[in-house]
Amino acid sequence: MAHRAQCPRCHSEHTVRHGHANGLQRYRCRACNRTFNALAATPLKGLHKRELWLRQAEALNDGRTLRKVAKDLGIHLGTAHRWRHRFLTAPERVQPATLTGIAEVDETYFLLSFKGKRQGLDREPRKRGGRASKRGLSHEQVPVLVARDRSGATMDCVVETPNMETISAVLKQILPTDIVMCTDGSKTLAGVAQILGVEHHAVNVSAGIRKEGPWHVQNVNAYHSRLKGWVAKFRGVATCYLNNYLGWFRVIESRVTNAPTPAQWLAMALGDRD
């Protein structure tokens, strides 16, 4: 049976073709009588200038800054910003289903940022990102949890409350019981491993120990370094968009084994994950 368009209002697939408008196929839902077009249930709903979307996908592939995108495509800076985050909706949500073998788990931190906001700050605005007054977890920093196996499969996300319960709930989704978890000696992550019931090896990095046989966190820490270097070129990322940038970087990193094309970027933005 052929796939039918799903109604964005009632999610029924009892739909029929209903002509065209602005170059797009339209549909009518027989369940609720709503009409909609082929983009109605995608993140690109309502965006104009479809002839430029493939060039926007190329800009994502290249990791260009907003000002460069606006100039290259001849669009307003605000339009470039809106397009970027609509296109990143799907990559932000895509995470590996599971990690295998040895999984290195560690946290990294990004500066809390209200970039783009003009009101509500309880401090003086920073210039070009700025620095936190101290390292590690504080009210100025946003923790990002990263889990990466030796094949390169990577899960990362912002963790608002980096305690054992929260981290356990996140990692439970991707760490099978036969995984081997490597950490840097964090008491929180050791407690997480115990909660999950997985084999755990901690390397005391704070004591200068980098590796104990096959146990280390060098891969995940190298990923942290590449991620931060890549984010730095944007001169500060608003915390509310940080997960989008994490998803963007995961896709860019995947080009080592499966280089995405601009057409694939566009397909992801339209909700096609195949």
User: Is 136's pLDDT higher than 60?
Assistant: no
Percent of the chain with pLDDT over 90: 62
Q: Which two tokens stand for residue 216?
A: 């280390």
* Local confidence band at 127 (pLDDT 50, 70, 90 cut-offs): low
Per-residue pLDDT, 87: 93
pLDDT in tens, 186-217: 999 999 999 999 999 999 888 888 899 999 99
Helix (H) or strand (E) holding 180: strand 180-183
Beta bridge partners of 17: 27
Q: Indicate if the pLDDT at residue 177 is higher than 70.
A: yes
Q: Which single residue is written with the structure tokens 């249930």?
A: 41
Kindly tell me if the per-residue pLDDT of 1 is higher than 50: no
pLDDT at 120 over 60: no
Residue 224's Cα: distance from chain center in Å?
14
How many other C-beta atoms are found inside a 10 Å radius of the C-beta of residue 93?
12
Question: pLDDT of 234-252, one tens digit each?
Answer: 988 999 999 999 999 998 8
Using CA atoms, how far apart are residues 111 and 142, in angstroms rounded to an integer?
A: 6
| Residue 270 CA: distances (Å) to CA of 57, 81, 209 | 11, 17, 46
pLDDT of residue 2: 46
pTM, two decimal places: 0.83
Are 253 and 156 within 8 A, CB to CB? no
To 10 degrees, the CA torsion angle through 111, 117, 122, 127? 50
pLDDT at res. 137 = 56
> Dihedral of CA 174/184/253/165: which sign?
positive
CA-angle at 148, arms to 146 and 154, nearest 5°: 80
The predicted pLDDT at position 73 comes to 96
Compute the distance between CA of residue 196 and CA of residue 99 in angstroms, rounded to an integer. Answer: 14
* DSSP characters over 34-97: -EEETTTTSTTTT---GGGHHHHHHHHHHT--HHHHHHHHT--HHHHHHHHHHHTHHHHH---S
